[in-house]
């Protein structure tokens, strides 16, 4: 899958799921954790409304605004 296609699919996945962990996305899209972090960074730089939280119950979520 090309990166641009994967970024679009990630955005669609995030809109449906709303809260997720990096490893969950990496497994779903069959990429490494590092690749998924780069993809999330790219989406964030393009204006994607992502928020992150640390800890056991942390992960990423789509901001409501």
- Contacts made by residues 56-59, CB under 8 angstroms, sequence distance 24+: 58/21, 59/19, 59/20, 59/21, 59/22, 59/24
User: Is the pTM higher than 0.85?
Assistant: no
The kind and range of the H/E element at 8 are helix 3-17
* Domain residue limits at 21: 3-62
Q: Residue 35 maps to which CATH number?
A: 1.10.10.10
List, for residues 8-55, the tens digit of each pLDDT value. 999 899 888 878 899 999 999 999 999 999 999 999 898 888 888 887
- Cα separation, 52 vs 19, in Å, equals 10
Number of domains the chain contains: 1
pLDDT value at position 31?
Answer: 96
pLDDT value at position 59?
Answer: 80
- Cα separation, 18 vs 20, in Å, equals 7
The residue behind tokens 């994967």 is 6
């Amino acid at each position: 899958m090309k990166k641009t296609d994967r970024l679009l699919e990630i955005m669609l996945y995030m809109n449906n799921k709303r809260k997720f962990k990096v490893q969950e996305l990496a497994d779903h899209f069959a990429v490494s954790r590092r690749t998924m972090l780069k993809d999330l960074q790219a989406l964030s730089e393009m204006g994607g409304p992502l928020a992150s939280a640390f800890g056991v119950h942390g992960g990423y979520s789509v901001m409501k605004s």
